[in-house]
């Protein structure tokens, strides 16, 4: 027990003699704890916001892409460009047991001109 008392006395003496260093250390620890709590809270808030957005879309919806879904939208790989879905494919999906509704959507990069300015934008077209 004598050794523990010596360590405690040594620590208290160090804090008493180096007050500025002690205060700066305590402030640093406090700022670190606040930063960790803030980041965890921010992460939880973002997770909740994403969950709410996904709930609005619905967890019972899927997206079918041509080419097996191996390429991202806007990709220029040959299999994605070569593969296409047609209105008949939408009709086949509608006939699948458990499917309530299906619709086709066309997604394409198009050039839009206004006056002397021109830009490429992603265009979505579909029927309801």
pLDDT digits (tens, 9 = 90+) for 46-94: 999 988 887 887 767 777 777 655 545 455 544 445 578 888 888 888 8
Residue 40 predicted with pLDDT over 90 = yes
Round the average pLDDT of the chain to a whole number and report it. 83
Residue 3 predicted with pLDDT over 80 = yes
42 with 83, same domain: the answer is: no
Structure tokens at 113: 């001109």
33 with 77, same domain: the answer is: no
Domain count, the chain: 2
Q: Which 3 state secondary structure label does DSSP give 54?
A: helix
- Which residues, at least 6 apart from 87, have a Cβ–Cβ distance to it below 8 Å? 104
Residue ranges making up the domain that contains 21: 2-57
Cα distance between residue 7 and residue 11, in whole Å: 6
User: H helices within 58-106, ranges in order?
Assistant: 78-82, 87-94
45 with 88, same domain: the answer is: no
User: Between these two residues, 103 and 34, which has the higher pLDDT value?
Assistant: 34
Q: What is the mean pLDDT of residues 12-37?
A: 93
């Amino acid at each position: 027990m004598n050794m523990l008392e010596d360590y405690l006395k040594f620590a208290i003496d160090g804090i008493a003699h180096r007050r500025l260093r002690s205060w700066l250390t305590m402030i640093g620890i406090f700022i670190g704890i606040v930063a960790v709590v803030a980041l965890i809270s921010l992460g939880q808030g973002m997770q909740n916001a994403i969950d709410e957005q996904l709930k609005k879309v619905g967890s019972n919806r899927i997206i079918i892409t041509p080419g097996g879904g191996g390429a991202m939208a806007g990709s220029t790989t040959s299999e994605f460009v070569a593969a296409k879905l047609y209105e008949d494919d939408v009709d086949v999906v509608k006939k699948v047991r458990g499917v309530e509704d299906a619709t086709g959507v066309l997604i394409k990069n198009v050039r839009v001109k206004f006056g002397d300015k021109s830009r490429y934008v992603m265009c979505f077209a579909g029927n309801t």
